[in-house]
Amino acid sequence: MIIGNKIRLRNKRLADARGDYTWQTDPELARLDAAPLLTTTFAQYLSDYASALRYPSSIRHQFAIETIEGKHIGNCVYYDVNETKGEAELGIMIGNRDYWDKGYGADAVATLVSYIFRQTNLRRIYLKTLDWNKRSQECFKKCGFTLNGRLVKDGFSFVLMEIYRKQWEAHEIET
């Protein structure tokens, strides 16, 4: 369990599958994430989910985001871990809309970034988010991420953001 101020991060479990399926089949969430809408049945999804839990990947680390009271409100992940380059990509989704714009996302991102820099030798964490998703960009900025480029991929326009270990250390001292 990794404890933040408003949230805690924990390992994923099979009981999360129903909530995750609901979020991944939600058209608005898919649009905000530039992700394809999931079309598989829940039975198939559950079977794939169970396999992924049984055989964890060394380059993808996913966590459930819970409120301090223990309510599962979303997920976050760092993936494509590249030990040679010392970097990984970060992703987050607060699936429960009741928890948007209340600082839960920023706390989850800040908590995950601190965990990564404390527990690994990685020196850079990066992400991409849609250029019109101002909420996500504000959330990442609050955590010390800065803009480092733009990308058009599969018809979507993204902004690229990053944080280096040094910036994180400075941000930790400031906040």
Ligand X SMILES: CC(C)(COP(=O)(O)OP(=O)(O)OC[C@H]1O[C@@H](n2cnc3c(N)ncnc32)[C@H](O)[C@@H]1OP(=O)(O)O)[C@@H](O)C(=O)NCCC(=O)NCCS
Binding site for ligand X (CB under 6 A): 29, 32-33, 74, 92-94, 100-106, 129, 133-136, 138-139
Decide whether 32 or 53 has the Cβ nearer to ligand X.
32
- What's the token pair of residue 54? 């049984």
How many C-beta neighbours within 10 Å does residue 163 have? 23
CB of 67 to ligand X, least distance (A): 11
Residue 159's alpha-carbon distances to 90, 97, 126, 151, in angstroms, are: 14, 23, 11, 6
In angstroms, rounded to a whole number, what is the distance separating the alpha carbons of residues 120 and 93?
Answer: 23
CB of 43 to ligand X, least distance (A): 26
Q: What are phi and psi of 30, to 5 degrees?
A: -65, -40
CB closest to ligand X, residue no: 105
Decide whether 32 or 38 has the Cβ nearer to ligand X.
32
Decide whether 43 or 98 has the Cβ nearer to ligand X.
98
